[in-house]
Each structure stands twice: as C-alpha cells, then as structure tokens.
Amino acid sequence: MSLFHIALQEGFSGDAVLIRLNGQEVFRKSNVRTRLQIGYADSFETNVEEGPATVEVSLPSRPLSELMEVQVSGALYVGVSVTPEGRISYRVSHEPFGYL
C-alpha cells in the first residue's frame, strides 16, 4: 500500500466537493474555500494499492466533474484546482506540496 494525498488548492469558493478513488467515495465536504494567501483549501490522505488508480473529483454545486487516471508507485501527491475558466485541473507529484 502507498500513501495517496489529495490537496484541494486554487479556485474553491464555498464549493461542495466529492472525491472518489477507484469508484469508492473517500472525501465529501461542503463549503470548501481556498485560502488565497497560500493557495490551499483542504486535503486528505489514504492508502491505495500500487498500480493504476482512478480519481474522480465532482463539484455538484457548479456542476463540474473530472476523471483522472494516475499510476501509483510509492507516495503520490495530487493537487486539485479549479481554473478561472471553470475547469478542474490536476498536478501530480512524488513530493509533498509546500504552503507558506
């Protein structure tokens, strides 16, 4: 099993957020807001089997949804943002994200 960390970063403004990992709900929260000074809204961690994984992020209040395939090998950090154009974007790293 590997650490799987999801950070909700830029563009959240009081949104309800639902995240599924490999079809299973792993995160649900309402009123998620980005702290503009640091570009961070919320985060959570879980463990997942190494190999391919599917991440689905939904913002039902907008409505927005995005599906992403990632390859898990060791700790994986996924940053999720909402772009100014109203899309969900992802950033994948094997290192933790830094917030000041």
At 1-60, the pLDDT tens digits run 899 999 999 999 999 999 999 999 999 999 999 998 889 999 999 999 999 999 999 999
Q: Which fold has domain 2-93?
A: Immunoglobulin-like (2.60.40)
Torsion of CA 34, 90, 18, 30, to 10 degrees: 0
Please tell me whether the peptide bond between 60 and the residue prior to it is cis, using omega within 30 degrees of 0. Answer: no
Domain-by-domain residue ranges, the chain?
A: 2-93
In angstroms, the Cα distances linking 78 to 13, 17, 44, 61 are 19, 15, 10, 22
With a threshold of 0.75, does the pTM exceed it?
yes
